[in-house]
Amino acid sequence: MDRGIDFITRIKKGASYQVEQVLTNSYDISDRIIKIGSGTPKTPIVRVRLVEIRSGKGWHSYLTSVLDPQILPPYVVADLYRRRWRIEDAFCIVKRLLNLSYLWTGSRNFRFWILDFGLKEGLICCPFTTASSLFLP
């Protein structure tokens, strides 16, 4: 966040936080600015946005560093998080089809190559035009 990089992630169940500001509180959306962290050097107190979306009988909760709902509306937060997992699924499918499912690598270049190959060979169908766009913010 200090470097101008924003994120979306899930919040741990039972996480402790303080509500600083309520942005939206309706039947199916809860959008709040919260403070999370214990204030120690390892876990400093951070201001983030907690977005909760009702889904069926339950709720899905997300944290984002984008505090302005005009820039990143609540449903977009949930949609972006869901799309991130579609990219991971595509990567796993291509690895399996190439018999590389037991190969682990943290290399971003290797992941790019796998996704790019899968798209070019028609092994996966992705709403993006090139695999390189998968890594753009």
Q: Over its length of 137 residues, how does the chain's per-residue pLDDT go in tens digits?
A: 566 788 999 988 888 899 999 999 999 999 999 999 888 888 889 999 999 999 888 999 999 999 999 999 999 999 888 887 777 777 777 777 777 666 566 666 666 666 666 556 555 555 443 444 444 44
DSSP label of 133:
G
C-alpha distances (whole Å) from 37 to each of 25, 34, 95, 107 are 23, 10, 37, 30
Q: Which two tokens stand for residue 9?
A: 């992630």
Q: Assign 3-state DSSP to the chain and report helix, strand, coil percentages, each to 5.
A: 30, 25, 40
Q: What is the pLDDT, as a whole number, of residue 128?
A: 41
Give me the pLDDT at residue 129, please. 39
At 18, list the tokens: 């303080």
